[in-house]
Amino acid sequence: MADAIIDNIPKLNHDEINSSITIPLTPTSGVPKYDLSGMVFGTTQAPFDPTYKFFATEGATYSLLDTSFFDPYLRLYDRSGNAIATNSEDSDSAAEIIFSDLLHDENGEKHSLDVIIEWTAPYSGIFFIKPGWEQELIHKNYLLVVSSDMDTAVQQISQLSDTDTDRIFNWGESAYTNLFPEHQNSQADVQGYYARIYSNGDALGERDGIIYYYDGGTDGTGEIVAVGTISDYLPQAVAAGF
Are 242 and 167 in contact by the 8 Å Cβ rule? The answer is yes
pLDDT at 136 over 70: no
Q: How would you classify the pairing of strands 21-22 and 52-56?
A: parallel
pLDDT at 104 over 90: no
pLDDT tens digits, 37-84 = 888 888 777 677 899 998 888 888 998 988 876 767 899 999 899 999
Backbone angles phi, psi at 127, to 5 degrees: -130, 155
Are 80 and 128 in contact by the 8 Å Cβ rule? The answer is no
Q: Return the minimum-mean-pLDDT range out of 42-46, 225-229, 230-234.
A: 42-46
Of the pLDDT bands very low, low, confident and very high (cuts 50, 70, 90), residue 156 is very low
Q: Which residues pair with residue 226 across a beta bridge?
A: 212
Of the pLDDT bands very low, low, confident and very high (cuts 50, 70, 90), residue 134 is confident
Q: Under CATH, what is the fold of the domain 14-153? A: Jelly Rolls (2.60.120)
Edge-to-edge strand list for the sheet holding 203-207: 187-190, 193-197, 203-207, 210-214, 224-229
The per-residue pLDDT for 33 is 75
Candidates 135, 137, 127, 138; CA nearest to 66 is 135
In the chain, CATH 2.60.120.380 covers 14-153
The per-residue pLDDT for 161 is 55
- Kindly report the average pLDDT of the chain as a whole number: 81
Are 116 and 95 in contact by the 8 Å Cβ rule? The answer is no
Are 218 and 19 in contact by the 8 Å Cβ rule? The answer is no
Helices (H) and strands (E) in the chain, counts: 5, 15
Of the pLDDT bands very low, low, confident and very high (cuts 50, 70, 90), residue 217 is confident
Are 41 and 117 in contact by the 8 Å Cβ rule? The answer is no
The per-residue pLDDT for 48 is 76
Of the pLDDT bands very low, low, confident and very high (cuts 50, 70, 90), residue 187 is confident
- In angstroms, the Cα distances linking 130 to 18, 52, 56, 76, 179 are 14, 7, 16, 7, 32
Q: Which residues contact 207 (CB under 8 A, 6 or more apart)?
A: 192, 193, 194
